[in-house]
């Protein structure tokens, strides 16, 4: 796709909250398609072994791209009340050693099927809090990975950092281990909001760490913000936005808080009456959007902004943006190995997920089995729909001829019903439906998930939408 992308950023003027509320509702974030709730327990360790062996054959035939690896570190020292992650709250740091032992066993089982020293171009440590591990433990884990996989010279090695758990010298230790990308969990700088979500960290400490990360040569620095948190007001969030712009991280991720206390127990500590109401959420989103765009950030897609020289912004301009379990990515269609409790992977046309609890995870490994508990083999229909949904999420448009050529079908004819169901979005000015393409308008970027949901066959098959966060 070489022509300049149309409608690459959302409108700075927000759609009316009446229109937004009409389509507001839960929806998937489409870090995969089908979404993880469609994975089935019939996908077991035997199936994953076969899939890994198929990757091995493709790799030996020179037909596999370098791998991506995700490692899940589930531990956190204290609970953030908004948390929806798979984590274990503990102050007992001795829990790290048996977990690292288990990861070693899992790596060995994976390599046994995949073959040793497969090239890796992307590694991400997520959690939980990866920096719950001390410097020696991170060095141990990196040593295991480097003895089992071959990292390409330009590999992206990224880690999520809880600013409360690191010092400048710990940042230097991460850099020495080869990490070249770092993501700081910030969420909000306001004291009252921080107390309401039980995550207190000063602006000064985050500023200091970002400064140190820059001096150490981390190639890309990301910071996460969340709007819709308890005690947040448009005025308080405006101050947080200004402070964030001042810090100038290369990337900013702006997430909407999804209050689902029935599903996520920590959220029961958040009082409904402390949450901003719908029009306040909309105005916070609008302020953030305007604040970042006017400060020189480019809009990448749902939730994400980057400075023009950042690789994500370059990939967006060149039409090479991808989407995977970590969000937007610059890497071409890599197979992803998920390691650790609850980690999700994608190999060829299969997705899989590891056991979600530590006892289950350890037990599988003690039996010498890969700890996978569910997954799905993607069928041809899913592959086409994944292409359509990712085209919307990454580029804001579907070119019928491109998709048709890739899959050998006539998009207009095969997806006639779906295209008809876009009519309300067209009427509201969110989508343009033309002879050759579907295009998301600048206003439509605010509701791009809802547009993508039109092409999701599984939602129509009775998958519960209630388990997903709000689309706006
Ligand atoms: S939000 Fe992050 S740091 Fe906080 S409890 Fe959840 S996983 Fe841990």
17 three-class SS: helix
- Which of 325 and 17 is assigned the larger pLDDT? 325
Q: Give the single-character DSSP code of 282.
A: H
Is residue 130 within 6 Å of ligand 1 at its C-beta? Answer: no
Distance between Cα 421 and ligand 1 center (Å) = 38
Residue 229 has pLDDT above 70, yes or no: yes
Enter the DSSP assignment of 66: P
> In whole angstroms, what is the distance from residue 128 CA to residue 372 CA?
19
Question: How far is 38 from 462, CA to CA, in rounded Å?
Answer: 11
Instruction: Indicate which atom in ligand 1 lies nearest the CA of residue 76.
Output: 8
pLDDT value at position 4? 36
User: Hey, which residues does 70 pair with through a beta bridge?
Assistant: 124, 338
d(CA 64, CA 56): 8
316 has a pLDDT exceeding 50: yes
pLDDT over 50 at 5, yes or no: no
Q: What is the pLDDT of residues 299-309, one digit of tens each?
A: 998 889 999 99
Torsion angle of alpha carbons 105, 83, 182, 249, nearest 10°?
170
Rounded to the nearest angstrom, the distance between the alpha carbon of 229 and the centre of ligand 1 is: 14
Exposed/middle/buried for residue 88 (C-beta within 10 Å: 0-12, 13-18, 19+): middle
Determine if ligand 1 sits within 6 Å of the CB of residue 443: no
Q: Whose CA is nearest to atom 1 of ligand 1?
A: 83
Tokens 């020495």 sit on residue:
176
Give the span between the Cα atoms of 238 and 59, in whole angstroms: 50
Q: Which of 12-21, 265-274, 314-323 has the lowest mean pLDDT?
A: 12-21
Give the model confidence (pLDDT) of 366-386 as tens digits. 999 999 999 999 999 999 999
Atom of ligand 1 nearest to the CA of 266: 5
Predicted pLDDT of residue 26? 67
- Cβ 389 vs Cβ 455: under 8 Å: yes
Contact of 121 with 331, CB cutoff 8 Å: yes
Q: Give the list of residues 6+ apart from residue 408 with CB closer than 8 angstroms, or none.
A: none
The confidence band for 12, taking pLDDT boundaries of 50, 70 and 90, is low
- What are the tens digits of pLDDT across the range 457-469? 998 665 545 555 5
- pLDDT over 50 (residue 7): no
For CA atoms 268, 326, 50, 383, the dihedral sign is: positive
Mutate to test the pocket of ligand 1, among 72, 128, 193 (most ligand atoms within 8 A of CB): 128
Question: What is the reported pLDDT for 286?
Answer: 86
Which of 413, 431, 435 has its CA nearest to residue 422?
Answer: 431
Q: In 191-324, where do the E strands start and end?
A: 220-227, 251-256, 298-301, 304-306, 322-324
Q: How many CA atoms lie within 13 A of 396 on its CB side?
A: 24
Tokens read off for 52: 């890994």
Over residues 87-142, the pLDDT tens digits come to: 999 999 999 999 999 999 999 999 999 999 999 999 999 999 999 999 999 999 99
Output b/e per residue, 311-330; b: 16+ Cβ within 10 A: bbbebbeebbbbbbbbbbbb
Q: Please name the residue whose Cα sits nearest to atom 4 of ligand 1.
A: 80
C-alpha–C-alpha distance, residues 336 and 66, integer Å: 9
pLDDT at 331: 78
The minimum-distance atom of ligand 1 relative to the CA of 128 is: 7
Confidence of residue 20 (pLDDT cuts 50, 70, 90): low
- Could you tell me where the DSSP H helices lie in 45-167? 45-60, 96-114, 135-148
Give the H/E segment covering residue 470.
Answer: none
Could you report the per-residue pLDDT of 432-448, keeping only the tens digit for each? 999 999 999 988 888 89
Using the predicted structure, report yes or no on whether residue 3 has a pLDDT greater than 60: no
CA atoms within 13 A on the CB side of 47: 20
Average pLDDT of the chain is 91
| Cβ neighbour number for residue 198 with a 10 Å cutoff | 15
Q: Return the bridge partners of 67, or none.
A: 120
Q: DSSP secondary structure string, 310-354? A: SHHHHHHHTT--EEETTEEE-S-S--EEEESTT-EEEETTEEEEE
What is the rounded distance in angstroms from the CA atom of residue 423 to the CA atom of residue 431? 9
Beta strands in 189-235 (DSSP E): 220-227
Q: CA-CA distances (angstroms) from residue 109 to 19, 202, 377?
A: 51, 42, 21
Q: pLDDT digit string (tens) for 348-371?
A: 899 999 999 999 999 999 999 999
- Residues 216 and 352: their CA atoms lie apart, in Å, by 36
At residue 279 the predicted structure's pLDDT band, cuts being 50, 70 and 90, is confident
Residue 468: the pLDDT is 54
| Encoded tokens for 286 | 């609008």
**Least confident residue range of 4-13, 270-279, 327-336:** 4-13
Query: Is the C-beta atom of 87 inside 6 A of ligand 1?
Result: yes
Side by side, the strands of the sheet bearing 344-347 are 298-301, 304-306, 251-256, 220-227, 181-187, 149-161, 118-127, 67-73, 336-339, 344-347, 350-354, 372-377
Q: Among 76, 89, 160, 200, which residue has the most ligand 1 atoms within 8 Å of its CB, making it the best to mutate?
A: 76
DSSP 123: E
Residue in the block written with tokens 């009519």: 423
Atom of ligand 1 nearest to the CA of 160: 2
């Amino acid at each position: 796709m070489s022509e300049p992308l149309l409608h690459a950023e959302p409108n700075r003027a927000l759609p009316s909250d009446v229109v937004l509320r009409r389509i507001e509702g839960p929806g998937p974030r489409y870090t995969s398609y089908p979404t993880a709730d469609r994975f089935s327990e019939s996908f077991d360790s035997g199936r994953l072994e076969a899939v890994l062996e198929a990757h091995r054959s493709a790799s030996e035939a020179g037909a596999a791209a370098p791998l991506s690896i995700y490692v899940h570190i589930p531990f956190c020292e204290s609970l953030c009340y908004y948390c929806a992650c798979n984590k274990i709250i503990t102050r007992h740091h001795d829990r790290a050693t048996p977990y690292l032992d288990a990861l070693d066993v899992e790596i060995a089982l994976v390599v046994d099927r995949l073959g040793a020293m497969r090239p890796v171009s992307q590694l991400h440590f997520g959690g939980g809090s990866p920096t719950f591990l001390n410097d020696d433990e991170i060095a141990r884990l990196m040593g295991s990975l480097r003895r089992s996989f071959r990292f390409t010279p330009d590999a992206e090695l990224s880690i999520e950092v809880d600013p409360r758990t690191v010092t400048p010298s710990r940042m230097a230790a991460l850099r020495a281990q080869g990490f070249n990308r770092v993501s700081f969990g910030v969420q909000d700088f306001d004291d009252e909001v921080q107390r309401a979500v039980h995550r207190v960290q000063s602006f000064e400490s985050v500023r200091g760490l970002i400064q140190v990360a820059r001096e150490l040569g981390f190639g890309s620095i990301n910071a996460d913000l969340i709007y819709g948190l308890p005690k947040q007001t448009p005025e308080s969030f405006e101050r947080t936005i200004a402070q964030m712009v001042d810090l100038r991280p290369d990337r900013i991720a702006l997430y909407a808080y999804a209050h689902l206390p029935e599903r996520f127990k920590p959220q029961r500590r958040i009082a409904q009456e402390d949450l901003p109401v719908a029009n306040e959420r909309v105005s916070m989103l609008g302020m953030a959007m305007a604040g970042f765009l006017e400060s020189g950030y480019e809009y990448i897609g749902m939730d994400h902004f980057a400075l023009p020289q950042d690789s994500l912004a370059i990939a967006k301009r060149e039409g090479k943006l991808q989407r995977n379990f970590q969000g937007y990515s610059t890497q071409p269609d890599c197979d992803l190995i998920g390691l650790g409790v609850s980690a999700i992977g994608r190999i060829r046309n299969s997705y899989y997920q590891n056991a979600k609890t530590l006892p289950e995870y350890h037990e599988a490994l003690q039996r010498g089995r890969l700890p996978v508990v569910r997954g799905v083999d993607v069928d041809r229909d899913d592959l086409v729909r994944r292409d359509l949904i990712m085209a919307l999420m990454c580029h804001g448009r579907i070119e019928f001829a491109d998709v048709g050529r890739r899959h050998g079908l006539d998009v207009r004819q095969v997806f006639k019903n779906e295209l008809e169901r876009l009519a309300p979005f067209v009427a509201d000015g969110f989508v343009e439906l033309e002879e050759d393409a579907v295009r998301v308008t600048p206003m439509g970027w605010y509701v791009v998930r809802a547009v993508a949901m039109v092409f999701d066959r599984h939602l129509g098959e009775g998958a519960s939408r209630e388990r997903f966060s709000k689309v706006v």
